[in-house]
Chain A
Amino acid sequence: MRISDFIARTITQRRGLVWCGVIALAVACIAILITSLQLDSEIFNILPGRFSSVQGLKIYDRDFEQTRELTFALLCDPQDVDKLEDFSQAFAEKLRKQPWCTRVLAGSPMATPDGIRDLQSIAVPLLLNLEPSVFDETMSILRPEKIRDRLGRLRQQIEAGSPRPEFELSFDPLGLIAPALKPFAENNAIEQEQPLTSPDRTMRVFLAVTNQPSISAFECQRLMRRVNEFRAAASEGWDGGRLQLLVTGRSAFVSEISLSMRYDVVATLLGSVLLVGTIFFIGFRRWLPLLGMAVCLLLSCLVALTLAQLLFGRLSMISVAFCAILVGLGVDFAILTMGRYHQARADGEPHQQAIATSVANLGRAIFFGALTTAVGFLALVLSGSMSFSQLGVLIAIGIFVAGLFMCSILFLFIRERHRSVRHDWLFEIVKKYVRWTVRRPLGMLVFSTAFLLLLTVVGFSPIPPLQFEASTRSLQPKNIRASNALQEIMRRMPVRWEPVLAIVHATNPQKLHDDWQRLAAHWMDLQGAGKIKSFSTPTALCPSPNWMQRNREQLGAINFRATRETLVQTLDAEGFSPEAFAPAFTLLDDLQRLADPNEPLPSWRAQLPKSSSWWFLVDRYFAQDPLLTTGFVTTNQPVSTHAQSKELRRNLSVPGVPIILSGWSYVLADLLPWSHRQLLIISALMAIFDLSLLAILYRDLRLWLIQVVTLAFGIGAMIASMKLLRINLNLLNVLSFRLVLAIGVDYGIYTVLVWQKTHDVEHDVAGVMKPVLLAGLTAVSGFGSLALARNPSLTGLGTACALGIFWSLVATIFFTLPAMAAAEPKPWNANKIDKD
């Protein structure tokens, strides 16, 4: 018994059993999904994980405190700048009192007494951590003659009216603190790197570290709900004009992106179902098969999701958007089988026989169509991106399952009693077109060839160019508040472009110190040579146990008693107030105590108060693991090309020091060859696979050539449309080319296979062209519905695919058919199609 007959008999004679099987399958899938479905909202999983720069971005996002940092900005009208300055203090206090807020930075720590005191508190450990020769030079300041010279000189300068000695003596009465902090201060001018007030004073920025327990999407949403409550009441007490409160930061982004993902899934799925359903109903004007198709598609989605969940253990939220694509693709099979079934019934075949005919005639085409589409999507596995790999596997599974269901379960929804459609205008139009084209193919062939060739030339010519957008904005959802806030802050603040991150993870403190020493020395040379603009590192804050031990031993040689006596005498002689120099005596006591080898070496981490604003600076460099650190390199120009990223990698590296270079701009530049490879090599491989499959399938050189030209026209016209409509390529929609190849070739397969076997052109070719037309339109709708998404990666992918499939459909109808008719003419109204 043939498979088609077996399916037809089972569907018609064992309906109850099949229904039970369907329900059991659905229940099993739902049960598995409910108990084990885990969604991954990690945005970085869109990027290929094998790149160290991408790994670096993930490390920075996961392990560094900045992930819990929110940036608040108050923006007022120009006439209210003085009011804003006063209001800022009240706002900062209000912010500090929020239960979700751990620390607030409202200005340079150096501008506050607490900030200066905190800095003094870490001077001793940093002093001991100085390079030995610098330490010796610094400690020579404690010699009696040097104490006398220094204080005498400073007293004269004070009399002369200089502001500097007053500051120096207040901050560093002994002259030891400034040298100790010099390495730390050299690269860390926070006010210069991160100005907190705009030049026109209309914007004030506040950094806040939150206490959110995790950085998951749901936790970010919970935090942002509380932040928004605060935002609503934050302007109380403001008596000026319009005051805007902007909030941005990772949590704000993740919260909005995850919410937009939910919207994307719902909007694209509903949009896809609505559009596809409408087209299906217009084509067949029956409700029950439409319901059947929806059930089959839903079941396909459920099965694919379940299998993918079992396979991967965790599904990306982006890959869940596969449902919309699967609806657009799976409906093709329903349209084809339904079309053939109704044609068979119209030919007078009984219900069971019509099912068998439909499956027998189109089963092979559907199998190969599903195969090419599945392979096209499976090729996404080669992208190296976890999210897109999952998307590819999901759709590959889904499309095969959908092909199976559309050739079986779908017929459960078709009544045995056949009601013929009175007037199928769509079929009549298609039939007229097929008749006209087959009889006189040259006219249409010349016209379509000229038109598609023109578009193809435009598409493949270098002018106008197809723009490649390698910026973070190409991956951000549109119009989200966090993004708008960030743009507004960046517009008003004279910040430089994003620095390159250099992540160093050492095995012990000494290694970490040595690594950063070597990197800092090398980068200093690069800066001197003009190869980089500037850099900042945690070098000064990476303690060297060896240096500290050696320097402590040197303290034993200092006569602290004589030093103290000299200081007392000099203060008295120069007329200084001893009370104002109390910190100097405390520092001498601390150093004398540390000369004892039994005293533990001091740690700046333990001495810096937890509430200190300096932690904002420290947290830029250190992860929760103190041995995981990052430095920052500002380049002469924004990093936008792969050549720049390569040169940076070559320049910034130091032999023997393992570093990971990263940062959004750097990552995107680093990934450019990857995305070009996606575009060219993998698409070419896909094309070779398709062409080989077609050669085996057709075994006819002329038909094969026609199909090759059709594919070339489809892709060429797609690129031309993107150029003319100014749709840029980005890192993700380059994947669309292989998808278009995979899907577009199906229409050719359906048409050519029927053409090869038909002896009744009106009956068979017109009978397949109508479903092909409907299938193409539904696929365009399915992908087009992705344009409803807020995530531009989905929108870009959907738009590019919709364009490509549209042109593939156009090329199939207006080029393939007349070309076949011209190459291998068929008599009109010949015998019926061969039975398989």
Chain B
Amino acid sequence: MERIRRILLMVAGLISLTSFATPAPLPDSEVKNLLARIRENRITQADFQEQRVIRLMKKPLVNSGRVWFQPPNKFRREVKGNSPSLTVSDGQQLWIYYPNFKSAERYPLGKRSPLDSTVAAINSALNLENIENTFQITATKIDPPQAGYELALIPRTASMKRVFQKLELHINDQLRAERTEMLLPNGDRIVTTYSNQTRAPVPPSTFEFKPPPGTDITTPLGQ
């Protein structure tokens, strides 16, 4: 379950790129209006910096990189630094490639894998379709100088509750995600900050992945 949770952390973190809040305190009707505006102006790429506090390690792990996203369920995430990695989802499968080890992990989606229900839920969140039913949303308006909104998303379904307890999003006054904080059931915490968000079109090839020759490919959840 840990590995599933880990994947979902990365995926759910992308929610921040497309989730924008409405003025606080937000009644349900205004949340709906806000979500509708967000769906019309989804961003497609951003730089990120991530800090992970996990119980296995004494100190937090920090890495950075860039993400690309295309509704409803395609994304790409590149981690730079000493331990680089590449995560690509085309909606049917999820690849994680580790250049240092010349190895890749492939996770099938949509074949009744344990990932399916939660990934489906997350994807709907990414797409912001039906998000009101998937999460309990609490929105708060933040006054200047950090003008924007704080959104707290709490999963409604049991399967998603097993993946994370709470997802907090900070949205700036331009309706762009600046920071997310995710709390996991085992106490691990992941804080991600975003910058350079754009809405430029992304070529379809961005969401395709072909392992380089010689890559050791594993399928931790089976075929």
Question: Which A positions have Cβ atoms within 8 angstroms of B?
Answer: 82, 85-86, 88-89, 108, 110-111, 116, 153, 156-164, 166-167, 169-171, 189, 191-192, 195, 199, 201, 494, 575-577, 580
Contact = CB atoms under 8 A, between A and B. Distances in A.
Contacts of A201: 117
Q: How large is the interface on B (under 10, 10 to 19, 20 to 34, 35 or more residues)?
A: 35 or more
Given A157-B101, A160-B98, A166-B6, A86 B158 contact: yes
B2 A160 contact: no
A164 B159 contact: no
B165 to A, nearest CB: 15
A167 B3 contact: yes
B160 to A, nearest CB: 9
B62 to A, nearest CB: 9
Contacts of A166: 2-3, 6, 54, 56
B57 A576 contact: yes
A108 B159 CA distance: 13
B3 A164 contact: yes
Contacts of A494: 112
Closest 10 CB pairs of A and B: A163-B6, A163-B3, A159-B83, A167-B2, A167-B3, A160-B83, A160-B85, A161-B85, A166-B2, A580-B56
A86 B56 contact: no
Interface in B45-68: 54-59, 61, 63
A116 B162 CA distance: 15
A159 B3 contact: no
Contacts of B198: none
A111 B101 contact: no
Interface of A is mostly: helix
A89 B157 CA distance: 11
Nearest to A571: B58
Nearest to A171: B2
Contacts of B63: 159, 161
A1 to B, nearest CB: 86
Q: B1, B84, B85, B100: which has the most chain A beta carbons within 10 Å?
A: B1
B183 interface: no
B7 interface: yes
Contacts of B117: 85, 201
A165 to B, nearest CB: 8
A575 to B, nearest CB: 5
B82 A191 contact: no
Interface string B81-95: 011110100000000
Contacts of A192: 222
A576 B114 contact: no
B17 to A, nearest CB: 17
A89 B114 CA distance: 17
A147 to B, nearest CB: 16
B96 interface: yes
B158 A85 contact: yes
Interface of B is mostly: mixed
A577 B61 CA distance: 13
Nearest to B2: A167
B10 interface: yes
Nearest to B9: A163
A82 B156 contact: yes
A201 B55 CA distance: 33
Contact of B157 (A85, A195, A199): A85
Interface in B114-151: 114, 117, 133
Given A159-B83, A166-B56, A494-B112, 12 more contacts: A85-B117, A158-B57, A159-B63, A162-B96, A162-B105, A163-B3, A163-B5, A163-B96, A164-B220, A189-B222, A577-B55, A580-B55
B7 A85 contact: no
B100 A156 contact: yes
Interface string B20-42: 00000000000000000000000
B100 A161 contact: no
A199 B112 contact: yes
B156 A577 contact: no
B56 A169 contact: yes
A82 B220 contact: no
A201 B157 CA distance: 12
B183 to A, nearest CB: 16
Contacts of A86: 156-158
Contact of B112 (A85, A158, A195): A195
Contacts of B98: 157, 160, 162
Contact of B85 (A89, A162, A577): A162
Interface in B205-223: 218, 220, 222
A580 B159 CA distance: 25
Contact of B158 (A88, A157, A158): A88
A822 B218 CA distance: 88
Interface in B142-191: 156-159, 162
17 contacts: A82-B157, A111-B1, A111-B114, A111-B162, A153-B101, A157-B98, A157-B101, A158-B54, A158-B61, A160-B85, A160-B98, A163-B3, A171-B2, A199-B112, A201-B117, A575-B57, A576-B58
Contact of B2 (A157, A170, A576): A170
Contacts of B7: 163
Contacts of B105: 162, 164
A82 B10 contact: no
Contacts of A159: 61, 63, 82-83
